[in-house]
Amino acid sequence: MSEPGAAPPLVAVGEILRPHGIKGDVRVRPLTDHPQERFDRLRECFLWEPATDRRERCRIASHRFDGDGVLVRLEGVESPEAARSFSGRLMAVPRAEALPPAPGQFYPWQLEGAAVETPQGRQLGTFLRVEGSSGQPLWVIGDGEREWLLPAVPELVIEVDVAGRRIVADPPEGLVEL
């Protein structure tokens, strides 16, 4: 939950890779499952540096798709030199503006604070965040004293109830105690 007046949590929709052409366009790698829908709707976003939470509001003048990327023109950026300063930044929108997930899917941030329990009802903790892994995402579960990792695979995650803020998991014996 954010404090009054605090900046809203953001969700990244693209990563600015490099300048493109001589008019100040930037090449963007989409970070969304539906790039056409997302960028066709995008009129304004934040240029975001998550490590420092530096945010700069910007307006999108135009965009066009090019292979698996998007060429974006930001208002006020009219040269490759100006565009270069945005390389590596993320294009992000407030979470409230994220596209709805497909039926049966969810964004990890929608689970923050959800209760995690076994099929028998034993409380294991609360969902804190997702950590990346080359194999599968690892869910970080906390019980107030410590954190542990739950591989997000169907064999271990039995049910996810986003609306009910509840996750049913069946971790192997000993995993919670590690």
105: Cα within 13 Å, side-chain hemisphere:
7
Q: Over the stretch 11-58, which tens digit does the pLDDT of each residue have? A: 999 999 999 999 999 999 999 888 999 999 999 999 999 889 999 999
The domain locations on the chain are 10-97, 108-169
Q: Over the stretch 50-73, which tens digit does the pLDDT of each residue have? A: 889 999 999 999 999 999 999 999
Q: What kind of fold does domain 10-97 have according to CATH? A: Elongation Factor Tu (Ef-tu); domain 3 (2.40.30)
Q: Over the stretch 96-140, which tens digit does the pLDDT of each residue have? A: 999 888 888 888 889 999 999 999 999 999 999 988 766 788 999
Is the pLDDT at 80 greater than 90? The verdict is yes
Q: Is the CATH number of domain 108-169 2.40.240.10?
A: no
Is the pLDDT at 169 greater than 80? The verdict is yes
pLDDT > 70 fraction of the chain, expressed in percent and rounded:
94
DSSP one-letter string for 36-82? HHHHHH-SEEEEEETTTTEEEEEEEEEEEEETTEEEEEETT--SHHH
